[in-house]
Amino acid sequence: MFTLAIVGRPNVGKSTLFNRLVGRKLALVDDQPGVTRDLREGEGRLADLRFTVIDTAGLEEITDDSLQGRMRRLTERAVDMADVCLFMIDARTGITPSDEVFADILRRRSSRVILAANKAEGSAADAGVIEAYSLGLGEPLRVSAEHGEGMSELMSILRPISEEFEELAERTAPETEVAVDEHGVADLDKGKPMQIAVVGRPNAGKSTLINRLLGEDRLLTGPEAGITRDSISVPMTWKGTPVRMFDTAGMRKRAKIQDKVEKLSVSDGLRAVKFAEVVIVLLDADIPFEQQDLRIADLAEREGRAVVIAVNKWDAVEDRQARLAELKEAFNRLLPQLSGAPLVTVSALTGRGMERLQEAVFRAHDVWNRRIPTAKLNLWLSGMLEAHPPPAPGGRRIKMRYMTQAKTRPPGFVVMCSHPDKVPESYKRYLVNGLRADFDMPGTPIRLVLRSQA
């Protein structure tokens, strides 16, 4: 299922459309003042189409800077979560400066925007609809959220997107969690291709890299022949191991054909992250660790993916040693949450570093799948407790008695203890860093849950 975000300034009719799509009055705004409302989510329906709708409504007209900031953040969040954004304007009012602010967010962050001119019932809206072209987001779709006009046109825009997502989900459904086996046996994924996404800013070299790895010009065959559904993920074999690479670059190119916003959006990358096991964050050696790179790397970590940082265009770098030192320093400073993740330098253009990249991916995947036997973990835990006992809030020492690995992909551990809520973050970090170091799990997200003893 795909996710549709309805965004736009207050009062254009977002809630009205949300209610219509979700089909319940449940979504009705509650009028209590001072209630800070966040994003609302519901299951949307248009005839047989099913999707998730996110609504940013419920914010009052912007009156001060803090609200404007909040509105912007909320909108950005919705946009990033969404596969498609429906940007709504009020065709009776015409375009306001506030609309331009939203249009700007969408241009920068979303690759699929449906521009909807609402309140378009009757001719009073005609001028506003024409004005809406000036936003540079394509042809406005006339709708009336209140009267239900324009819904079948909306449906015909959403249908191909829905089909694409169904197909993507079918092809790439990630493994469901494997049941815990404390002896660490049975890798149920044998034979399944590893899912890899290459994400990064536009022009980082993603297409070049995928082509290089594929060894043929498959993605660059142009809009007519090239961008088939096949290119959503590309099957290949790396040293005899089947892998599937997500072609976020191809998604961008397809988006272009459809005459949508050109820039690779963060959301394309986000989608790839969702489906991937290993995420290659591809940086341009000339402009590494830009905001967008950091955001996506952080997201990959939060989503629990294995991450490999690849610095591309290394062929064009002059003082390589100095640059590498800079990069490592920046990496540790800007992405401490990924500390230990492999950083490899590559040139997609010349093909240098491809083998090292593949090895780093395999290794990251391996670590991400690691299982540590319970007996070993408990031996380790008692050593850690002895070396550095947990604090004793209010004079009563926190006791940790037992530990087990509850999941893999990424590794997740449960520690049974007294007063889990009193264990400070610093102590959890001590344990996580210890796990990382002592069981050789660099670069993978590690989850640690404290549970009280029953």
Contact mark string toward ligand GDP, 310..329, x via CB under 6 A = --xx-xx-------------
- Strands 343-345, 306-312: pairing is parallel
Contact 410, 395 (CB under 8 A): no
Could you say which residues in the range 45-84 bind ligand GDP, by CB under 6 A? Answer: 57
Measured from the CB atom, the residue of 149 and 189 that comes closer to ligand GDP is 149
Query: Minimum Å distance from CB 348 to ligand GDP?
Result: 4
Query: Minimum Å distance from CB 315 to ligand GDP?
Result: 5
Measured from the CB atom, the residue of 173 and 287 that comes closer to ligand GDP is 287
Measured from the CB atom, the residue of 96 and 382 that comes closer to ligand GDP is 96
Query: Minimum Å distance from CB 236 to ligand GDP?
Result: 17
> DSSP secondary structure string, 61-110?
PP-SHHHHHHHHHHHHHHHHH-SEEEEEEETTT---HHHHHHHHHHHHH-
Q: Is 378 in the site for ligand GDP (CB under 6 A)?
A: no
Using CA atoms of 254, 255, 256, 259 in order, give the dihedral in degrees to the nearest 10: 120
Q: Measuring CA to CA, which residue among 274, 277, 218 is closest to residue 249?
A: 218
Stretch that binds ligand GDP, among 166-174, 334-342, 344-352, 394-402 (CB under 6 A): 344-352
Measured from the CB atom, the residue of 270 and 367 that comes closer to ligand GDP is 270
Q: Binding site membership for GTP: which residues?
A: 8-15, 55-59, 118-121, 200-207, 247-251, 312-315
- 3-class DSSP state for residue 165? helix
Distance separating alpha carbons of residues 264 and 253, to the nearest angstrom: 9
**Total number of residues binding ligand GDP (CB under 6 A)?**
31
Q: For residue 277, count other CB atoms closer than 10 A to its CB.
A: 25
Contact 137, 202 (CB under 8 A): no
Contact mark string toward ligand GDP, 191..230, x via CB under 6 A = ---------x-xxxxxxx----------------------
Contact 453, 401 (CB under 8 A): yes
Could you say which residues in the range 116-175 bind ligand GDP, by CB under 6 A? Answer: 118-119, 121, 144-147
H or E element at residue 280 = strand 278-284
Interface residue list for ligand GDP (CB under 6 A):
10-16, 57, 118-119, 121, 144-147, 200, 202-208, 249, 312-313, 315-316, 347-349
